[in-house]
Structure 1
Amino acid sequence: MPTKPLIGRETRLCMSLSARPGNFGTRFHNRLYELLGLDFVYKAFSTRDLEGAVRGIRALAIRGCAISMPFKEAVIPLLDGIAPSAAAIDSVNTIVNDEGTLTGHNTDYAAVVRLIADIDPATPFVLRGSGGMAKAVVAALCNSGFRDGTIVARNAEQGQALATRYGFRWQADLGAAGAPLLINVTPIGMAGGDADALAFPEAMIAASQIVIDVVQYPPETRLLRAAQMAGKRIITGTEIATLQALDQFVLYTGVTPSDAQVADAAAFARAAG
């Protein structure tokens, strides 16, 4: 293993901004820096001053910043530009700082496309959520050939706009909207106030075939546990986080780790909790 330089004045900083920071991304990136001997360090932050935080990224020459809920759309006006991956869905999950020029990207979309590649696009789905991550997931579904889907979102304006943009149905509440593919793209089940809540009723889970939960922390949400107990295939927030974080890592460092190094870093991040 290459020797990682001691932190000094040449060390480059990367970071994340989230309402509820977890440890997965921090440990994933830092483990890869260690494995590859890169002079980088990564730190997670939360903020109530998004504009001030973005000014800090520029002023302090922070190389890159991951953006999580609820900042993925609000950050766009604060940037100098957005890459096609973010412009296509009006959502940013990654900022790259090139000598003071901040460009927004979206690596969530590509991660979801890869993870749903073996699911029959004729499979009907129900998706809960309408925020920035929901845009990435719905765009991935549409561009992967899915046509029979329902977007469930209490925010009528956002939910209807998202459904209309990609040719799906919208409704405000779940009702009886079951489907073989269930996707949670809300904070329901995230560590904190909603940790014990289920994004879908147990009867709906029992009638499904595949359950996707984008929540990253905790790695095993109540929804995922319920789906596993019911014998359903699951796709976890950790799987999505690993793929999208890998793309971020490459954007920040210009280095592509080996599959073995990615697996090592993901296992390290999961084991660390």
Structure 2
Amino acid sequence: MKPPIGRDTRLCMSLSGHPGNAGSRLHNRLYELLGLDYVYKSFSTTDLPAAIGGVRALGIRGCAISMPFKEAVIPLIDGLEESARVIDSVNTIVNDDGVLTGYNSDYAAVRDLLERRIARPLPFLLRGSGGMAKAVVAALRDAGFADGTIVARNEAAGRALAAQYGYGWRADLPDAAAALLVNVTPLGMEGPDSEAMAFPAAFITACDVAFDVVALPVETPFIRAARAAGKAIISGGEVVVLQAVEQFLLYTGIRPSPEQVREATRFAHGAEVAASLDG
């Protein structure tokens, strides 16, 4: 049984531009299932340096980092683990007695999904060039996806990301789709872009696999359209769960069982996302 919250309870948290409830529900449910004296809470901030200073000063054990803070947080912490250093993007901070180390668990989650859910490497179009895009592009390259194009309006970031991994770059979508479409932009995320489609309907009809890293909501317009068209789907909900399990291990030193992960996922995201973890 989980102990009642008290002075020895360890706090973990997340920082996001659009905080939601699913991450908190997943971590807190795992704490309950494992009887751990932890609590998890999500936050946003308009003062990132002050927020990271609070993580350090208050002894907050771990902090998940989401868009738009994954690159901006790097100068504010003390060091980078290899996964974050190579990708130059942080999605996890671990606090060891005031020393803050950045990790990237997105990469491992995305690579695992690519290798389990797509039988062979496909040509891809990927929209985005920010911190999450860096993790996804690195995972695509390392999973053997050799033919790809980065679509990014930010020419400097897009060209640099494409050149680093040997892909093409363009500012706008091409005339034709690719077999794998990947959205790593805020399009479809709750907020002002919630009804925006990451790819046009004709591209979705022509693709084989639709992959959207947006997790809030899980059912983005892109994912809904791809599902209606009968396409294979990888959702942001799946990415969030798998990377959260890696974060949980970093924070607590404990890896939950697959059954515990499925139970926590059902509680946080629903039965459909939980079932997709076995796909």
Q: Structure 2 length as normaliser, TM-score? A: 0.95
Question: Secondary structure of 1:88's partner?
Answer: helix
Aligned residue type for 2:32: E
CA RMSD of aligned residues (A): 1.3
For structure 2, the 5+ residue unaligned runs are 272-279
Runs (4+) of structure 1 exceeding 2 A deviation are 118-122
1:146 lines up with 2:106 in the alignment:
no
2:276 maps to which residue?
none
1:74-223 pair list within 5 angstroms: 74-118=72-116, 119-223=118-222
Partner secondary structure for residue 265 of structure 2: helix
Alignment correspondent of 1:69: 67
Residues 116-160 of structure 1 show CA distances to partners (whole Å, capped at 9, x for unaligned) of 004255410000000000000000001111110000000000000
The 1-side partners of 2:120 and 2:64 are apart by 30
The runs of 5 or more residues in structure 1 that have no matched partner are: none
Aligned position for 1:38: 36
Distance 1:122 1:176 in 2: 22
Q: 1:89-133, CA deviations, whole angstroms, 9 ceiling, x for partnerless residues?
A: 000000000000000000000000100004255410000000000
In the alignment, the residues of structure 2 paired with residue 120 and residue 260 of structure 1 have an alpha-carbon distance, to the nearest angstrom, of 25
Q: Return the alpha-carbon distance in structure 2 between the equivalents of residues 258 and 122 of structure 1.
A: 30
Hey, what's the Cα distance between the residues in 1 that align with 2:133 and 2:102?
17
Query: In the alignment, is the contact (CA less than 8 A) between 1:129 and 1:185 conserved in 2?
Result: yes
- C-alpha separation in 2, matches of 1:46 and 1:87: 24
- Residue 271 of structure 1 deviates from its aligned partner by 3.7
In 2, the alpha carbon distance for the partners of 1:35 and 1:268 equals 12
Name the TM-score, length of structure 1 as normaliser.
0.97
Task: Provide Cα deviations, 1:159-181, integer angstroms capped at 9, x if missing partner.
Answer: 00000000000000113141000
CA distance in 2, matches of 1:217, 1:122: 27
Distance 2:16 2:255 in 1: 25
SS at match of 1:6: coil
SS at match of 2:89: coil
* Secondary structure of 1:65 counterpart: strand
**Paired AA for residue 126 in structure 2:** L
What SS class does the counterpart of residue 248 from structure 1 fall into? helix
Percent identity of paired positions between Structure 1 and Structure 2 = 64
In 1, distance between residues paired with 2:75 and 2:120?
Answer: 34
Number of aligned pairs?
271
CA spacing shift, 1:203–1:252, aligned 2, 3 Å: same
Q: Is contact 1:212-1:234 (8 Å) kept?
A: yes
